[in-house]
Chains A and B, each alone.
Chain A
Amino acid sequence: QVQLQESGPGLLKPSETLSLTCTVSGDIVDGGTYYWSWIRLPPGKGLEYIGYILYTGITNNNTNYNPSLKSRVTFSVDTSKNQFSLKLTSVTAADTAVYYCARVVRVSGAAHYYFYMDVWGKGTTVTVSS
Chain B
Amino acid sequence: SYELTQPPSVSVSPGQAARITCSGDALPRKYAYWYQHKSGQAPVLVIYEDTKRPSGIPERFSGSSSGTMATLTISGAQVEDEGDYYCYSTDSSGNLWVFGGGTRVAVL
Contact = CB atoms under 8 A, between A and B. Distances in A.
Interface of A: 4, 39, 45-49, 52, 64, 66-67, 100, 102, 107, 112-123
Most chain A CB within a 10 A radius of its CB, from B48, B54, B88, B97? B97
Closest 7 CB pairs of A and B: A47-B99, A120-B42, A46-B101, A46-B102, A49-B97, A122-B42, A116-B33
A122 B40 contact: yes
Contacts of A48: 99
Nearest to B90: A115
Nearest to A6: B42
Contacts of B49: 107, 114
B95 interface: yes
Interface string B4-47: 00000000000000000000000000110101010011111100
Contacts of A115: 90, 94, 97
Interface of B: 30-31, 33, 35, 37, 40-45, 48-49, 54, 86, 88, 90, 94-102
A48 B98 CA distance: 7
Nearest to A111: B29
B90 A100 contact: no
B100 A46 contact: yes
Q: Report whether over half of chain A's contact residues are helix, strand or loop; otherwise say mixed.
A: strand
B11 to A, nearest CB: 19
Contacts of B45: 116-118
B5 to A, nearest CB: 11
Contact of A113 (B40, B41, B94): B94
A112 B95 CA distance: 11
Contacts of B35: 47, 117
A107 B48 CA distance: 11
Contacts of A100: 42-43
A34 to B, nearest CB: 14
B99 A122 contact: no
B90 A121 contact: no
A14 B3 CA distance: 29
